[in-house]
Amino acid sequence: MVGPTAIGKTEVSIHLAKKLNAEIISSDSMQIYKGTDIITSKPKGYSRRRPRHHLISIIPPTKEYNVAVYRRDALGAIKEIMGRGKAPLFVGGTGLYMSVLVDGIFKVDSSNRFIRQRLYRQAGRLGSSYLYKRLKEVDPQAASKIHPHDLRRIVRALEVFEATGKLISRLQKQRKGLLDEGYEVKIICLNMERGRLYGRIEKRVERMFRQGLFLEVKRLLKLKLSKTVSCAIGIREIKGYLEGLYDLAEAKRLIKQHTRNYAKRQLTWFRKDKRIEWVAIGEGETPASLANSIFKKIRDGSQLKAKVSPLKKRGEDTLRTT
């Protein structure tokens, strides 16, 4: 189950997992890190035990973590969960994590730390727009799927090209994921009217500050943070306040603004995937009622597929992830 930040995925997924006899695997690129509880709105301790959650708070915020490692860890979690006779339920808003699971990842040694560092230095001097222009010239197909300000993915695409001489857009077509391995996969995306979503974001940021966001970020900033964590919404804005660039009210305003922008980018990403089934959250709908509606969609859809074209994985039960 995917969707934009602050839409309520955590609450819905807990109800849905109980109906599906599932365990939850996070597909959130920030919840992976320890010490980011408030800034990423992680589910509380009890909620993470019932149902059981995976891939939350597994590495320190000083370590890098990439999609290849995530895919390895997620596949391990799938095997473990299914071994207990349960279903894996993926929940999060990181579209790239969803993609490497469903579609796979290309198996080419394309990582080159020196090229990557050089590209980041160029971005620091000339701006991300300079690298994005280069990417449009080298691989226009890849550039069309990347936001001009998404520096990490721009650098990755150029790094692949410089390290291998191959276009990342072509390599991605050679990937094999859960669908290619015969698993049944259902992707649900939550959505709501934009004004209501932005209202939820406003309230969420206010709640995060009441819960101690400022102190959590101050603790994190004492560490040599990984590139991923240092770019998290909330880190940069509070760091600006601590450096005297603006007051705390402005830091809070920037967090709200940047979170709204992020939610918009998430929805743009998900809208490009025609396999996604969208579920609109109505006014006054509860997480429990929404989970019940999604459960019926999954159940009814699976029954139809079983009659028409059953999918099996080497004789085992089918896998349903949402």
Check residue 312 and give its pLDDT. Answer: 37
Residue 25 has pLDDT above 50, yes or no: yes
Check residue 171 and give its pLDDT. Answer: 83
Give pLDDT tens digits for 180-239. Answer: 777 889 999 999 999 999 999 999 999 999 999 999 999 999 999 998 999 999 999 999
Backbone angles phi, psi at 61, to 5 degrees: -70, -5
What integer is the mean pLDDT of 41-69? 89
Q: Do 82 and 21 touch, CB atoms closer than 8 A? A: no
CA-based nearest residue to 56, from 82, 85, 27, 19: 27
Q: Do 205 and 18 touch, CB atoms closer than 8 A? A: no
Check residue 302 and give its pLDDT. Answer: 56
Strand-pairing partners, residue 40, are none
Question: Which of 104-118, 198-212, 295-309 has the least mean pLDDT?
Answer: 295-309
Check residue 9 and give its pLDDT. Answer: 96
CB within 8 Å of 255: residues ≥ 6 apart? 205, 233, 234, 237, 238
The C-alpha angle 206, 284, 256, rounded to 5 degrees, equals 25
The DSSP H or E segment spanning 53 is: strand 53-54
Structure-token match 């090229």, residue found: 115
Check residue 320 and give its pLDDT. Answer: 45
Residue 307 has pLDDT above 70, yes or no: no
DSSP letter at 43 equals P
What integer is the mean pLDDT of 90-111? 86
CB within 8 Å of 104: residues ≥ 6 apart? 71, 175, 176, 177, 178, 180
Give pLDDT tens digits for 146-192. Answer: 989 889 889 999 999 999 898 988 887 777 888 777 788 999 999 99
- At 317, the pLDDT band (50, 70, 90 cuts) reads very low
- At 46, the pLDDT band (50, 70, 90 cuts) reads low
Question: Which of 39-43, 85-89, 279-283, 295-299 has the least mean pLDDT?
Answer: 295-299
Domain 113-172, CATH class in plain words: mainly alpha
Check residue 112 and give its pLDDT. Answer: 85
Check residue 300 and give its pLDDT. Answer: 81
For residues 12 and 164, which has the higher predicted lDDT (pLDDT)?
Answer: 12
Average pLDDT, the chain: 89
Structural domain boundaries in the chain: 9-105+176-308, 113-172
Instruction: Look up residue 305 and give its two tokens.
Output: 């597929």
CATH number for region 9-105+176-308:
3.40.50.300
